[in-house]
Each structure stands twice: as structure tokens, then as C-alpha cells.
Chains A and B, each alone.
Chain A
Amino acid sequence: MAVAIQLAAAPWLPLHFVPAGNLLGVLPILIVGGGAVLVLLADLMVPRRGNLVLPVATAVVLLGALGTAAGQWAVHAANPIVFNGAYADDRFALFADFVILITALAVVALSPGYLRRRGMEEGEYYILLLASVTGMLVLTGALNLIVVFLGIELLSIPLYVLAGFARDEPLPQEAAMKYLLLGGFASGFLVYGMALIYGETGHTGLVAIHHVLTATAVSQQFDPMLLAGIALLAVGLSFKVSAAPFHWWTPDVYQGSPALVTTFMSVATKVAAFAVFLRLFSATLAPYRAEWQVPIAVVAIISMVFGNVVALAQTSVKRLLAYSGIAQAGYVMIGLAVGRPDGTEASLYYLAAYAFMNTGAFAVITILSRRGEDCDRYSQLSGLGRRQPALAGLMAIFMLSLAGFPLTVGFFGKFFLFSAAIHDGQLPLAIWGILTSAVSLFYYLRVILIMFSGVPEAATEPEVQVAGVTLGGAALAAPDSAVAVGVPAGLVVVLAGAGTLVLGIFPALIYTLLQGITVVHG
């Protein structure tokens, strides 16, 4: 920073390029992006496997970005737009940044133990994670279609690699390939939509587009090409948030990817993609709300119905959580379809709630995963209540919260969304939401039932012995003895559980943050 300020005094420097405020505005991105480079260099210096240098360095980078973002929140810049209208560090972006960075921190805390158990200890894991987080931070504050696309690609490309990170197993390879091909396809939709919108408005900046649309919306002459652009944009983003009917990649990718990558993918990616979805539709494209509201609402209803009904038939835990994720995307889209500030607030609240409960649920899955195989069959959960009552109890809390049970954060998340829909007069959205929530109870409760009623899985399977050896005998000495939960991993699960409960009793803790949140658009 000091260098930039000093140089600013020199007359031969084109000042308008980089005033110091611009760099301050994107400081979290710079920290995470630069951190990725430093972690890469650290990986070259300390090639020895299994040490904690890389995870600790990654956590420090993420904490630094989190602290900077908190500072930006506290300062609350009067004009958060930087880089000539390409990026905004408004409170909307910062709130999404918080959720993304905290989720990433939880994932990093779970990583060393999980990677060791699954035999995937490679430094690239942390580098790719940080690169993906960089893309997400770019996305939350993007104020230009080009920057949106840049952010989407920067977050997706590392994830394609991470999805196939368990290189010697067939399912992750399939997952990575499917994610890459379908992700590229979705990016095509997205960029085509952007091209059409640019073609009709003559701008890529969201602020300028908003002004053009405000002017044309008054005349009530809706251009078919512009509408096609908006539709393509919606398709591309629906793919990224895995909303039905654009969700076909989700179950295979979520099941095939290593459980911890799925955790990151299902929470952080969804938050980042919804952040840009909300900004684009609720803010930039608000003048055309009458045109896109019904299609978005239909996608929300299809997601809720399809995700919840198909989840009933699943026999794989990860697929169950994938379909549950599709349904949860549908709930968040209620707030998107409502479109007004209370809809945006409800969506953001639900995303924060989702981060707590879904990270927690997946964290339990990663803790139970073994070499060569993630915890994916119901039989692996059966009897967990006896072997590991604390872990099973926390998992039960996450399941109840995902189902929207009172006294959990999921209840208030759904409450705010449904009440926003009712206030907006969109009764069908609320009714479908409540009906499908009732359906979802069945499969969430089944997980709890299996954990607390079934007998522990027979310990004759070879992977148990392998795990016992790799963990230095710390894990499974006897067939139904407890799984060793590392301190950081345990902390993540306990904190996620505490968050789920505390925010379920005091929802105002987050909701007051969201009141009057500013979304820069025009």
C-alpha cells in the first residue's frame, strides 16, 4: 500500500488507473489471491507430506481476509464502488464474503485429518482451495458482467480439479469430468446471455445496464433479445446454484467428489453464485422484474418439489445431501423471486443458516470417512448414536435444522423466506415451500432414526484395519469403539452445532446485520 501511495505523487503515473482506495476496496481478494501464490511457494519449500505448514498458512490467509472484510464492514465506505465501477465492497458483498470465508476456514480445519485418512495429502489442495475462494470473493462484489464471468471461471476451474482430487478412484474421476463438461456448458449459457444483454444495452457495467433498463422499462417495450439474454443468464446461474431443472450434475458430482470438497462446493459455491444471482436480478435487472419473476418462481418450486421428493428415494448419504442441496437452493430462490429488499435479506439469512447446518452435516460425514471410501452408505451411519453419541447428536441437530425444525437456525431461515413471499403476495411460493418442508422431514428424520436405532456396522471390512494403521492405532482399536475426532474437526462440528442452535433461538444476531444492507446497482 505504501508503495502505491508514494507513487501516486509522481506526475508520470496514470493516476486514474490505481488510486490507493481501489486497492483497499479489493484487499480481501488481494490477500486470498496473493496467499494462494505464497502457499504454492511454501508447498515447493516444504515438500514433506503430512506437516501442518500448509493448512496453517491457508488458515492465516483466510483469517487475514476475514479481518480485512470485517474492517471494511466497520468502515462502511460511503462510496463502495472501486475500479471505475467494476467492483463494489458494499455490505451485501461483505456479508457473502463472511459466509464464504468462514466456510472455507471450517473446510481448512477439517482438511489435514480428512486428507490423511483418505490418503490425498497434496499441497495443491490448499492452493486450489484458495484460488477458488479468490473467485468467490471476486464474484460477490462484481459490478460488471466481465468481472462476473471472471469470478465464475476463477471459482469453477479449481473446483473441477478438486472434484477429481482422489485421483486413483473411479467415482471422483467421473465427477470431475461431468462437472467440467457441464460447468463449461453452463458458462456458455452465461456468456451468451451476457453478450445479448451487452448487445442490447451497449454496456457491461451493471450500473449502466440498470440505467438503460430503467429507461426502457418505462416504455413497456420489452426487447425479445434482451429477454433472451436475461433468460440465458438465469439458466447459467441456476446451474451454478444447482436449482432444478438445471441440477443434473449435482448428485453425481456431490457423490463422486471427496466429501470435504463437496462440503466446500455445496456451501461456498452456492453462497457466491447466489450473491451474484441476487445482485443481478434483484438489483440490476429489477426494472424487468415483472418479466423474470414468474420463471424464477417456477424454478424455485420445481427445485423444492424435485429435490425433496427425489431425496426420499436415495440410499447414498452424499446423494441425499445433494438432493437436499437442490431443495435448499429452491428455498433461497424464493427470496430471489420476491426480489425486494426483504426477499434479498431473507435469502442472505438462509444462506448463512445453510452454511452452518450444511457445513456441520458434511463435517460429520468427513469425520466418518475412511481410506478409499467416503462415509456414504446408511449402514455406515447406523449405530452411530451408540458409538459416538456426541457426533450423532450434532448430526441430528443439523438434520433437524435442514428440515426447518423450530429452535434451529433452519426454522428462522424458512420463516423469513416464507413471510417475505407472503408479504409480496406470492402465496403459492410459500405454500409449496411449507408442503415440501413437510416432505423433507421424512428423509432427514430417517438419518436420525438410522443413527440411533441401527446396530454398529460389522468391523470385518478391510478398510477399518487400514484406517487403524494409518491413524497410528488412534482410530479403531475395537469394532464399535469411537472414531478419533481430531481437535480442529471436533471444534468445527461443535461450533457449527452451536451456531445452528444459538441462531435458532436468537435469530436477531444475524438478522440485525442484514437490516438495511446496501446492494449497489445504480
Chain B
Amino acid sequence: MLSAYIPLLVFLAIVLAFGVGITAASNLLGPRHPTKAKGLPYECGIVPSASARRRFAVTFYLTAMLFIVFDVEAVFLYPWAVLLRSTLHLFGLIEMLVFIALLAVGLAYVWRKGALEWD
């Protein structure tokens, strides 16, 4: 049974060899003329203004977390909306209402606890 996985192993070996080979070849063969501007971190073409290693307000993380929760809700809603009339019918509607109600409770919670305030 294990022999069924041999192609996978071969594939893994090829992938590794290809990746290492390409990187090594470009390092060995490619011409290099380093300048200060080339060595800068790429920030969408804008000259970097300060070090990237600085502290961010914790509210960013909070907002990001809340965003993900409601973003996932949207991800669920798209396929649900497509299939609702054809396959899911009322059952799907009730299921989604329960799901949205739970998220609404979560929204009420973060709202009431003041997690949506920036300060």
C-alpha cells in the first residue's frame, strides 16, 4: 500500500531539486551590480520612510480579527446564495439564518463591549 505513495515521493524530490537548482543557478550565473537604491526594501515603488520594525497600536489587531469573522461570513454567503433556490430551499435558509443570528450576537457583543471604538 505504501508503494502507492512513491510517485508522490518522486514528485517531492523533483520539486525540491527544481527549486534549489533555479535559485542556485540564478545566484551563480546572474550578473550582480548592487547599489544602495536596489538594496532597499520594496514598498510599492515609494521610498521607505522609516524602519518596518516599529510598534503598532493593538487596535489594528482587534479590527483585523473582527474583519476576518465577518469576512468569513461573506465567503459562506456567496455559495449559499447561488445554491439556495436550486438545492438548499427552506432548510438552507433556516441554517443560514441561525448562522447569521450567531454572528449578529457576536457583533452585538463586540459593539457593546466597545471593541469597535478606536480609542
Cβ B90 vs Cβ A44 within 8 A: no
Assembled-state Cα–Cα distance A44/B112 (Å):
7
Judge whether B28 is part of the interface by a CB distance below 8 angstroms.
no
A13 touches B1 (CB 8 A): no
- Cα–Cα, bound, A47→B112 (Å): 10
A41 with B90: in contact, given A200-B1, A224-B2 (CB under 8 Å)?
A: no
A10 to chain B, nearest CB (A): 7
**A18 vs B88: C-alpha distance in the bound complex, in angstroms?**
13
Interface contact A225-B91, CB-CB below 8 Å = no
- Return chain B residues, CB-CB under 8 Å to A13: 89-91
The A-B contact count (CB < 8 A) is: 28
Asked if B102 and A37 make an inter-chain contact with CB atoms under 8 angstroms apart, the answer reads yes
Q: A1-27: which have CB < 8 Å to B?
A: 7, 10, 12-14, 17-18
Inter-chain contacts of A17 with B (CB < 8 A): 91
Q: Is the C-beta of A466 less than 8 angstroms from some C-beta in chain B?
A: no
Q: Is the CB of A41 within 8 A of B105?
A: yes
Enumerate chain B residues within 8 angstroms of A40, measured Cβ to Cβ.
Answer: 105, 109
Find B108's partner among A10, A41, A224 (CB 8 Å cutoff): A41
Question: Contact check: which of B2, B90, B105 meets A7 at CB < 8 Å?
Answer: B90
- CB-CB under 8 A from A200, the residues of chain B are 1
User: By the criterion CB–CB under 8 Å, are A225 and B2 in contact?
Assistant: yes
1/0 contact string of B76-114 vs chain A (CB within 8 Å)? 000000000000011100000000001001001100110
Contact digits for A27-55, partner B, Cβ 8 Å, 1 yes 0 no: 00000000001001100100100000000
List the B side residues contacting A224 at CB < 8 Å. Answer: 2
Chain B positions within 8 Å of A44 at CB level? 108-109, 112-113
Given contacts A40-B109, A44-B108, A12 and B89 within 8 Å (CB-CB)? yes
- A223 within 8 Å of B (CB atoms): yes
Contact A18 B91 (CB under 8 A): yes
Which of under 10, 10 to 19, 20 to 34, or 35 or more describes the interface residues of B? 10 to 19
Q: Do B108 and A223 have beta carbons less than 8 Å apart?
A: no
- Which residues 45-83 in B have Cβ within 8 Å of A in the complex? none
Point out the residues of chain B lying under 8 angstroms from A225, CB to CB: 1-2
Q: Identify the closest chain A residue to B102 (Cβ).
A: A37
Cβ–Cβ < 8 Å partners of A7 in chain B: 90
Chain A residues with Cβ below 8 Å from B102 are 37
Task: Digitize B1-17: 1 where CB-to-A-CB distance is under 8 Å, 0 elsewhere.
Answer: 11000000000000000
Chain A window 195-230, contacts with chain B (Cβ cutoff 8 Å), 1 for yes, 0 for no: 000001000000000000000000000011100000
Q: Which residues in A have their C-beta under 8 angstroms from that of B113?
A: 44
In contact, B90 and A223 (Cβ under 8 angstroms): no
Residues of A44-74 whose CB lies within 8 A of B: 44, 47
Query: Which residue of chain A has the shortest Cβ distance to B89 in the bound complex?
Result: A12
Give complex CA distance A144, B2 in Å.
Answer: 25
Q: How far is the CB of A115 from chain B (nearest CB, A)?
A: 18
Q: When the two chains form their complex, are residues B89 and A14 in contact, meaning their CB atoms are under 8 A apart?
A: yes
Q: How far is the CB of A298 from chain B (nearest CB, A)?
A: 26
Q: For A41, list chain B residues within 8 Å (CB).
A: 105, 108
What chain B residues lie within 8 Å of A10 (beta carbons)? 90
In the complex, chain A residues whose CB is within 8 Å of the CB of B112: 44, 47
Distance of A44 Cα from B113 Cα, bound (Å): 8
> What's the least CB distance linking B76 to chain A, in Å?
17
Type the 1/0 row for B22-35, where 1 means its CB is closer than 8 Å to any CB of A. 00000000000000
Inter-chain contacts of A47 with B (CB < 8 A): 112
Distance (whole angstroms) from the CB of B21 to the closest CB of chain A: 30
Query: Is B91's CB under 8 angstroms from A14's CB?
Result: yes
Q: How far is the CB of B93 from chain A (nearest CB, A)?
A: 10
User: Measured between alpha carbons, how far is A225 from B102 in the docked complex, in Å?
Assistant: 40
Report the bound CA distance from A13 to B88 in whole Å.
Answer: 8
By a CB distance below 8 angstroms, the chain A residues around B2 are 223-225
Q: Are A223 and B1 in contact (CB under 8 A)?
A: yes
Q: How far, in whole Å, are A200 and B5 apart by their CA atoms in the complex?
A: 12
Determine the residue in chain B with the shortest Cβ distance to A37. Answer: B105
- Using CB atoms, name the residue of chain A closest to B112: A44
By a CB distance below 8 angstroms, the chain A residues around B91 are 13-14, 17-18
Complex interface: chain A residues within 8 A of B109 (CB): 40, 44
A18 to B91, CA, bound (A): 9
Q: How far is the CB of A288 from chain B (nearest CB, A)?
A: 16
Q: Using CB atoms, name the residue of chain A closest to B90.
A: A13
Among A399-428, those with CB < 8 Å from B are none
Which of A14, A18, A47, A224 is packed against the most chain B CB atoms within 10 Å? A14
Taken together as a complex, chains A and B put the C-alpha atoms of A121 and B88 apart, in Å, by: 44
**CB proximity of A67 to chain B, nearest CB, Å:** 24
* 12 further A-B pairs in the complex, CB-CB below 8 A; given A17-B91, A40-B109, A41-B105: A7-B90, A10-B90, A13-B89, A13-B90, A37-B102, A44-B109, A44-B112, A44-B113, A47-B112, A223-B2, A224-B2, A225-B2
- 16 pairs across A/B with beta carbons < 8 Å? A12-B89, A13-B90, A14-B89, A14-B91, A17-B91, A18-B91, A37-B102, A40-B105, A41-B105, A44-B108, A44-B109, A44-B112, A47-B112, A200-B1, A223-B2, A224-B2
> Which 4 interchain pairs have the tightest Cβ spacing?
A44-B112, A12-B89, A13-B91, A14-B91
